Every structure is written in C-alpha cells, then in structure tokens.
Amino acid sequence: MLSYEQALETLLADASLSSGSRMRVETLDPALALGRVLVAPVCSTLAVPPADNSAMDGYALRVADLVPGALLPVSQRVPAGSVPQALAAGTAARIFTGAPIPPGADCVVMQELCEAEGDAVRIAHQAKPGENIRRAGEDIACGAEIIPAGTRLAAAHLGLIASVGIASVEVVSRLRVAVFFTGDELVMPGRPLAAGQIYNSNRYVLLGLLGRLGCQVTDLGIVPDDLEATRQALRQAAAGHDLVMTCGGVSVGEEDHVKAALQAEGSLQTWKIAIKPGKPFALGRVGATPFIGLPGNPVSSFATFRMLAEPYVRRLQGETEVLPRAVSVRADFAWPRATPLREFLRVRRNAAGGLDLFPKQGSGVLSSCAWADGLVSHPPGQVIQPGELVSYIPFND
Ligand code: AMP
Ligand code: MG
C-alpha cells in the first residue's frame, strides 16, 4: 500500500507533466479572471502610489515651521487629483486624503488637531517628519513582480492588477473535465427508487467540488456495470476534455469494470492507499487524456477528492500552491483506535475554538461531510486524547 504522502507526490508529478505539455491559455479582462490561475507573473511598470500623498484630511507643512500654538497662513488648497505648487516657506497647505504632497512639505497634521482662523490655521500639535504621508512606491515599487505565476486570482489580486493599470491578464483556460458515475444501482433524483437502487448523490458532490475550482464539467451520466459500456464512456469522455474523472467501480470486484476498461483504452495504476476512508483510487490515461478514478462510497469519494484529486486538478490548472493546508487545532474529542491507515475525520470547529467530531464516521455517511467544516488528517498508528493538537484542514468554502 502507498502512503498518503507517496500517493500525493506521484499525483502531483503526473499533473505537472500533463499541465506542462497540454496547458491552454487565454487573455482576460481582470474583472473576469476571479478564481483563474495566472500563466506569467504580473509585474508593475509604475510605483503605487505614484507620488507621496496625504493619508488624512488636514494641513501639509514643514515640521521646522511649526511652533506649537502658532498661526500659519494657508497658502494653497490641494484636493485629491490636483497638482500642488511648492510650499511657500512659513505657510501650510490645506490638503485632503489622497492628494499629492506639495514639494517642500514634510508632514500632514490631521484636521482634528488644527483650528482654521480665516486664511490661517492654528496648530498646537508637535508633528514629526513623515507624519500622515504615504510614500511613493510604498505599496508597489516600479518594476516589482506583484503576483507570481501559478497564483489563483482572488479579489484582492484583481485589484492589485488594476492598481498598476494593467487591463488584461493571461490565465489558464478552464479545465474541461468529463465525469461519469458507474453502478447498476444508481438512479437520478426525480425518479422513483426501485428495490435495490440508490440515488446518484456523488454526481452533485463532484459537480460542486469541480465547479468550485472553475472547471468546465461535462456530465456523461450513469454508466452501467458493463465492460463495453464503460469503455465507450471512457472514449467519449476523453474526446475534447483535459481530464476524465469517474466515480465507483475501481475496486477489483467482479462488478468493477473501470480497471479493465481503462487498461483497454489507455493505461492505469490502481492504488491501494493507506487512507481511510478512501482506498481504492486510480490514476491513468485514456489515450493521452489524464484519468482519475474515485471510489464510489460517498464519503470516500468526497475525502479522496479533497485530499488527492483536488491538488491534482489544481496542479493541472497550473497552480503552484496546491497542498491541503493544515492548521493545529485542539481536538475536543477522543479517537481511541490506532490503525495502520491515515484517517480523514469529519470535524467541525466549535465556539470554544476546538474541534468536534461527527459521531458517525462510516464511509457511507454523507451527512458527516455536509455537517463538517473540515477534515482532521490523523496519522497512522496514533490515538487522539481530548485536548491534544491535531492537524485540521478547513474546507474554506
Ligand atoms: P463501488 O466503488 O462502485 O464499489 O461503490 C461503493 C459504494 O458506493 C456502493 O455502496 C455504491 O452503491 C456506492 N456508490 C457508488 N457510486 C455512487 C454514487 N454515484 N452515488 C452514491 N453512492 C454511490
Ligand atoms: Mg459499483
């Protein structure tokens, strides 16, 4: 059996290889690039802010001219968007937030500390040089790389790009993912359930998880437990897609046809990974198209997506930072059984800042995933005592 770390490493190496050779890119208005991955670093050809400017509404002056309690004549008015004159000696300039600092001024005294008297201002405050001045280039230096390649763009990134005047960015095209669900027992919601049947709940989980990563998903529906049907579905899925993802049928039972179908249509490595829930899991190719096979059990499918398929998809999309990010949080529960497997426990943060455990941790209990706000990644061979720090991976969605 592979360890979780070995499986993840192999997956990421495979995804890096595929994304390098197959990546499609496009140029977008940054306003349309939320959640997309940058192809090349964004660099600034200007400084932000472009000039020293005021952080406050108030008066710009020279610290040396300031005798506390003295009256200074106001020699100019500088609203944001205007171009100031050099500051005449022994005077102050009325100034507003964001307005450029007049040459010669070395501080801004906020208006709450000033008293206007006709065309002059009385200032009792002892200002320091640089006070309330935002320096040119304080946010971004001219020529600086502001966002590295491989970054998934969040709202603040889009603003940062706009702040340096860039109106288009090169991003990775949406990953085209074809999915299907194997199982003679599966039925779509909206239809009555006959004896022995269950609803295809994994479809909804998978579409949600892939959609959240910005994938363009083609759903090929439910495929019966039949070798020929599975082979045909694989061929259809590979055409015009960047990734094929299936759910169910990857074990080695008589009714599991994904393995044989994939061996006929491409290549396959099925893995037994030392994780719970989760094994089995499959990586392969249909023709030249990357393939991921998730287990059918709803919790296994969800957890392996989060912990293995998601990093894979992110790397296929060209993203650099793809590893699930764990934080140390106190367990407010006991996990008394050590097993040789890494376990992904469904947990939720409580008001006291600790973690509660969903009482039913079975691999068929999808309620646990809906209730949870993250997983504990619990290493093999260990137990958890209440109060111990554990490795918590929040879902962040
Ligand atoms: P399998 O991996 O095909 O052996 O399926 C393992 C378990 O997951 C079985 O109990 C299946 O009925 C169930 N299962 C498989 N696919 C789905 C699905 N799409 N939605 C809900 N349950 C499923
Ligand atoms: Mg099955």
- DSSP assignment of 261-284 equals HHHHHEEEEEE-BSEETT--EEEE
When pLDDT is averaged across residues 73-79 and rounded to a whole number, the result is 98
pLDDT band at 68 (very low <50, low <70, confident <90, very high): confident
pLDDT band at 12 (very low <50, low <70, confident <90, very high): very high
Nearest CA to ligand 1 atom 8: 297
| Spatial CB neighbours of 377, under 8 Å, sequence gap ≥ 6 | 4, 307, 324, 326, 342, 344, 391, 392, 393
pLDDT for position 253: 81
Is the distance from the beta carbon of residue 31 to the nearest atom of ligand 1 less than 6 Å? no
Nearest CA to ligand 1 atom 16: 296
Specify the CATH number for 53-134; select among 2.30.110.10, 2.170.190.11, 3.40.50.880, 3.30.1330.40: 2.170.190.11
- Ligand 1 atom closest to the CA of 253, numbered from 1: 4
Rounded to 10 degrees, the C-alpha dihedral 152/395/311/365 comes to -150
Dist. CA 157–CA 159, nearest whole Å: 5
Instruction: State how beta strands 133-134 and 53-54 pair.
Output: antiparallel
The answer to whether 248 touches 182, Cβ cutoff 8 Å, is: yes
Architecture of domain 327-394: Beta Barrel (2.40)
Nearest CA to ligand 1 atom 7: 297
Dist. CA 358–CA 146, nearest whole Å: 42
Work out the number of other CB atoms within 10 angstroms of the CB of residue 138.
13
Q: What is the mean pLDDT of the chain?
A: 95
Q: How far is the CA of 39 from the centre of ligand 1 (A)?
A: 37
Counting ligands in written order, which one lies closest to the CA of residue 188?
A: 1
Is the distance from the beta carbon of residue 185 to the nearest atom of ligand 1 less than 6 Å? yes
Pick from 64-73, 88-97, 357-366, 382-391: least confident? 64-73
pLDDT for position 148: 98
Token readout for 132 is 């309330």
| Topology, domain 4-23+174-316 | Molybdenum Cofactor Biosythetic Enzyme; Chain A (3.40.980)
Work out the number of other CB atoms within 10 angstroms of the CB of residue 23.
16
Nearest CA to ligand 1 atom 17: 296
- Domain ranges across the chain: 4-23+174-316, 28-46+144-172, 53-134, 327-394
pLDDT band at 78 (very low <50, low <70, confident <90, very high): very high
Task: Print burial letters for 256-285: b (CB count within 10 Å at least 16), e (below 16).
Answer: bbbbebbeebbebebbebbbbbbbbbbbbb
Is the distance from the beta carbon of residue 298 to the nearest atom of ligand 1 less than 6 Å? yes
The answer to whether 243 touches 11, Cβ cutoff 8 Å, is: no
pLDDT digits (tens, 9 = 90+) for 263-281: 999 999 878 899 999 878 9
Percent of the chain with pLDDT over 90: 92
Residue 138 scores a pLDDT above 80: yes
pLDDT for position 76: 98
Pick from 70-79, 184-193, 251-260, 319-328: least confident? 251-260
Domain 28-46+144-172 -> CATH class:
alpha beta
pLDDT digits (tens, 9 = 90+) for 155-207: 999 999 999 999 999 999 999 999 999 999 999 999 999 999 999 999 999 99
pLDDT for position 279: 79
Work out the number of other CB atoms within 10 angstroms of the CB of residue 323.
13
| Spatial CB neighbours of 358, under 8 Å, sequence gap ≥ 6 | 345, 346, 347, 348, 365, 367, 368, 371, 372
Residue 386 scores a pLDDT above 70: yes
Nearest CA to ligand 1 atom 5: 296
Q: How far is the CA of 301 from the centre of ligand 2 (A)?
A: 12
pLDDT band at 69 (very low <50, low <70, confident <90, very high): confident
> Comparing 53-134 with 327-394, is the CATH topology the same?
no
Nearest CA to ligand 1 atom 14: 296
Counting ligands in written order, which one lies closest to the CA of residue 185?
A: 1
Query: Looking at this protein, which amino acid is placed at residue 360?
Result: K
Pocket test residue of 179, 180, 186, 209 for ligand 1, highest count of atoms within 8 A of CB: 186
Query: Looking at this protein, which amino acid is placed at residue 256?
Result: D
The answer to whether 183 touches 301, Cβ cutoff 8 Å, is: no
pLDDT for position 397: 67
